[in-house]
Structure 1
Amino acid sequence: MSMSVRAEAEEYHSKDFEWETLEQEIENNPSLHYHFLPFPSSQQQQQQKTLNDSDAWRKFHNRHSAGRFFKERRYLLKEFPELVSCGESSKLLEVGCGSGSTILPILHGNKDIIVYACDCSSEILERTKEFVGASDIASVKNRFFPFYCDFCTTGFPDWLACNYCRGSQPQKQHDCFSDVEEINIPQLTYLSRESGSSIGGVDFVTLIFTLSAVPLQGMPTALIECYSVLKPGGLLFFRDYGLYDMTMLRFQPDQRVGFREYMRSDGTRSYFFSLDAVRNLFVGVGFIEVELEYCCVKSLNRRNAKSMQRVWIHGKFKKPM
């Protein structure tokens, strides 16, 4: 590991202001009270019936397929140093990879990690392959495996983790592959259907600004899927929108589709998490909480020279041994 990468992984900045101070300011502002109103359950159920989130996100990725919409998330090496220091041939599953803004810094920062990356948009996956293939990352061909998956609807494929792996039972040698260098995804998918073969689960899962795009009632099922493909002792790294983030306050009353849940004009949704909401979701499906906090960071909008108060959730959760 290079000195520069090590330095990036050693420091992590997350506190420009106190979340409790922001909470008081927001809740004392009458113009923002509509954010705290209860949302009628009957109205929310009707909203959910008319929404197709996967289609909305596919269209979103098609519009932004050039990849300029996102910047590389290099801060993840600071936020989750395990991604840099993990052992040789450790396996990571990136859920909702988008254009590769999470994948690229991880592949750069760790020359041995193996990354599986999925998304519900086949178009953006092709673009991600191009971005990663055009990079100067060492041995990327043998360390990066993108695949199409709408995990909230269909779950993860069997080749990722067989029934033995998902049940945390002892793995049979002929059921699971430990070396993926000569395995291609289409062949492995075929093998899994015919013989139950799999890669044996993954050591890490990253959910980076992905869970907030899932309908609230579907979040537990989504997390159960992530839990099932993690090896015992494996870690899930979580970063997403926090309660009272600047983007939440910009939504208008008619964009609410649930409590703390909003719909953009393009049909994509966003949920804004409190610490308790995240804790209840993850612990409720079996995870052990390792780290959980608000990240409160001020950033400058260069266009209008205004300071923006961003709130994100940082979480690290472990699957029990």
Structure 2
Amino acid sequence: MSEEETKYFSKDFEWEEVREEVEKNLSLRYHLVPFESSTPLSSPSSSLANQSEAWKSFHNRHSSGRFFKERRYLLKEFPELLSFHEYSKVLEVGCGNGSTVLPILRGKQSSAVYACDCSKEALDRAKEMIDAADGILIKDRFHPFVCDFSRNGFPKWLVCDSCRRDSLQKHRDFLSDGNKSEGMELNKLSSNKDHCCIGVLDFVTLIFTLSSLPFQKMPTALEECISVLKPGGLLLFRDYGLYDMTMLRFPLEQRVGFREYMRSDGTLSSFFCLDTVRDLFVGAGFIVLELEYCCIKSVNRQNGKQMRRVWVHGKFQKPL
């Protein structure tokens, strides 16, 4: 990656500049104060059900797919997807219309991508987009399935209980015995003798997905993600960062938690600082490999105004 490309995709400006401006602006102070409410956002069952329905409605309204653009920056930000072993298995969580899946399938002709979303309509659009893609045949390597992983977990045909237990035991052995088990063959964990599942995965991608969950459900969701990764597998993460332009545009009445906001269509959006992301992933058992703000300037083509976007970029590894 050239120096110019690196600058474009990560550091058009410094996050501290935005932080200083926001914290000095009294009109934006309501974003910073602790949130107090007698009616918390999420009861264990109803809020998640409402979120699933809200996102299904969202994808129905944007069924043409024009709302989303193919994330062509993905392989530059996460080159591991290209450099890993030949027949890698990737799980894209919350794939929407396939804007993340398509560049992965195009980038490596031997990778298999499993992709889930709570919306069947979104998956239908993703399949249509994959089927219509130019170039090499990729549809046979694309495996979409409906799943609300934050409520029900991943299906057992993806990773069965036996593979999960083996992977978890390997993780516990590492924690208790240090590096003694490092030399064992990791392929044994995905040998899948009964062929009841595809086995543990090389990669999980969470691209603008975690922020759509109520904060109190995020730890469980990340524990589910680490349980389907093989030891040494990577979770690749990008999501909304603290003081992103979108956050600052939310009015006070749409604030439903600390750095949590409800859009008018009922969908949820959270905005992360680095410390929060680190605590969530370490708490789930991950090792932090990379964690930083991506600060990118873009231009609104309609009015010519510059927009400052802040995203969080992260790479996290399941311990060997």
Given the two structures, how large is their TM-score scaled by the length of structure 1?
0.88
Residues 50 and 164 (structure 1), Cα distance of their counterparts in 2 relative to 1, 3 Å cut: closer
Task: Please tell me whether residue 24 in structure 1 is matched to residue 28 in structure 2.
Answer: no
Contact 2:41 2:256 in 1 (8 A): no
Aligned to 1:245: 244
Aligned to 1:89: 87
Between the two proteins, what is the percent identity of the paired residues?
A: 65
Aligned to 2:126: 128
Contact 1:295 1:314 in 2 (8 A): yes
2:229 alignment partner AA: L
**Aligned equivalents of 1:313 and 1:226: distance in 2?**
18
1:35 alignment partner AA: H
Task: Give how far 1:35 is off.
Answer: 0.5
Contact 1:164 1:171 in 2 (8 A): no
Task: Give how far 1:165 is off.
Answer: 2.0
Aligned to 2:185: none
Aligned to 2:183: none
**Aligned equivalents of 2:242 and 2:297: distance in 1?**
15
Contact 2:241 2:293 in 1 (8 A): yes
* Matched ranges for 1:128-147 at <5 A: 128-147=126-145
List runs of 5+ in structure 1 lacking aligned partners.
1-6, 178-196
Aligned to 2:226: 227
Aligned to 2:53: 55
**Aligned equivalents of 2:118 and 2:42: distance in 1?**
24
SS at 2:38's partner residue? helix
How many residues align structurally?
Answer: 296
Task: Please tell me whether residue 319 in structure 1 is matched to residue 318 in structure 2.
Answer: yes
**Aligned equivalents of 2:164 and 2:43: distance in 1?**
33
* Matched ranges for 1:277-296 at <5 A: 277-296=276-295
Contact 2:42 2:214 in 1 (8 A): no
Task: Please tell me whether residue 161 in structure 1 is matched to residue 159 in structure 2.
Answer: yes
Contact 2:203 2:236 in 1 (8 A): yes
Contact 1:165 1:231 in 2 (8 A): no
Task: Give how far 1:87 is off.
Answer: 1.6
1:36 to 25, 32, 37: 32
CA RMSD of aligned residues (A): 2.0
Aligned to 2:107: 109
Aligned to 2:150: 152
2:14 alignment partner AA: E
1:70 alignment partner AA: F
Residues 137 and 302 (structure 1), Cα distance of their counterparts in 2 relative to 1, 3 Å cut: same
Contact 1:107 1:137 in 2 (8 A): no
List runs of 5+ in structure 2 lacking aligned partners.
170-187
**Aligned equivalents of 2:272 and 2:231: distance in 1?**
26
Given the two structures, how large is their TM-score scaled by the length of structure 2?
0.88
